[in-house]
Amino acid sequence: MSDWTPADGLPPEVNPPGMEEIEDNPEALDQLLEKLYEERGIDFRNYKRSTMSRRLAKRFRARKVKSYTDYIKLLDKNVEEYETLFDDLTVNETYFFRNQTIFETFQKYLITIIKNCSDDNRPLRIWSAGCSSGEEPYSVAMLVDHCLLEQQKILPEIQIFATDIDQNMLQKAKEGVYPRLAVNGIPTEFLQSYFSLENGNYKITPSLQKQIRFEFHNLAHDPPFENLDIILCRNVIIYFNIGLQMEVLRKFYHGLRDDGLLLLGEYEVAIREGRNLFTNLHFEAKLYRKRQRKQGKSWKKP
């Protein structure tokens, strides 16, 4: 039994059953990833090879192939396989108010951002990058509305951008309909205020939905949104190699306003050059503040 604890950093990688039967051929794996990019515009070339190998193993077992070369041939014969493969390569684990302790910390800093926006009479702009089926941006929208009521503040507009590379997940997010099991962790007052019960499922209210713009966005290639107050990108860059992680952190830096906030995943950190771009505000929550480039409004820690 492993003696790993969260304090050790990233959890140890565990290979799925049967993976030992798949060839260890880095060049062939690179050819497969290049094929996905060239023929479908899906770019996993900068993802960690160990991550890609584990996820590909699932499709290999399902299709009874044991080499990357054989799987490339399968894709040539069966184009429908691309969609199934893409579902397996993307990670869509998410739920409302994921890690409640982190959201409680985040709320304290969110209140300060809201006060600044209200005092300046400007929109609050938030980006949820890697939003999957929408639970995170909807959680943030509920929290923003709750803070506005609690602090008796008014904003001219709330703009929440929610992006992902999985079109199927984006469609689910736009619909905003969730089964009972998915809403178990939501506070009762939020459930009553921001959902309606329809055919046994819970649907996000239109007033909350209109605050969020769901769209396709590839962190590796697309430019960031601009003039942002907050970026949430949790458990996404952990799957990128070091080069792509730094590229994405630089994009986040340029997308944020001075003193803007960046919330990363539980096991993610702003590495290398990222430490010159962001100041760590709360280590356990992985909450960072953009370092100022010029003289501006001083940050007031909550």
147 shares a domain with 32: no
Q: b/e string for 156-195 if b means 16 or more Cβ within 10 A?
A: eebbbbbbbbbeebbebbbebbbeeebbeebeeebbeebb
Q: What is the mean pLDDT of residues 161-187?
A: 94
Question: Does the pLDDT value for residue 6 go beyond 50?
Answer: no
Question: Does the pLDDT value for residue 106 go beyond 70?
Answer: yes
Question: Does the pLDDT value for residue 136 go beyond 50?
Answer: yes
In a domain, 49, yes or no: yes
Tens digits of residue pLDDT in 225-254: 999 999 999 988 877 878 888 899 999 999
Q: What is the mean pLDDT of residues 88-117?
A: 88
Q: How many domains does the chain have?
A: 2
Q: What's the pLDDT score for residue 95?
A: 85
- pTM here? 0.76
Tens digits of residue pLDDT in 32-77: 999 888 887 667 887 888 888 888 988 899 999 989 999 999 999 9
Q: What is the mean pLDDT of residues 273-283?
A: 87
Domain stops at, among 58, 89, 120: 89
Question: Does the pLDDT value for residue 142 go beyond 90?
Answer: yes
Backbone angles phi, psi at 104, to 5 degrees: -65, -40
Sign of CA dihedral 197, 201, 206, 207: positive
132 shares a domain with 75: no
By C-alpha distance, which of 230, 248, 222, 247 is closest to 290?
Answer: 230
According to the per-residue pLDDT averaged within each range, which of 38-42, 199-203, 298-302 is highest? 199-203
CATH number of the domain at 33, please.
1.10.155.10
Domain stops at, among 89, 122, 140: 89
Least confident range of 27-41, 130-144, 287-301: 287-301
252 shares a domain with 142: yes
By C-alpha distance, which of 128, 148, 84 is closest to 235?
Answer: 128
CATH number of the domain at 129, please.
3.40.50.150
Angle in degrees, 0-180, between the axes of helices 135-151 and 100-120, rounded to the nearest 10: 60
* Reported confidence tier of residue 299, pLDDT bands at 50, 70, 90: very low
205 shares a domain with 56: no
The domain in which residue 235 lies consists of 100-290
Name 153's Cβ contacts closer than 8 Å, sequence gap at least 6: 114, 115, 118, 147
264 near 288, Cβ under 8 Å?
A: yes
Percent of the chain with pLDDT over 70: 86
130 shares a domain with 76: no
In a domain, 50, yes or no: yes
Q: What is the mean pLDDT of residues 185-209?
A: 95
In a domain, 301, yes or no: no
226 near 260, Cβ under 8 Å?
A: no
Q: What is the mean pLDDT of residues 262-285?
A: 84
Q: What is the mean pLDDT of residues 150-167?
A: 96
111 shares a domain with 61: no
Q: What's the pLDDT score for residue 49?
A: 86
Question: Does the pLDDT value for residue 8 go beyond 90?
Answer: no
Q: What is the mean pLDDT of the chain?
A: 86
Question: Does the pLDDT value for residue 295 go beyond 60?
Answer: no
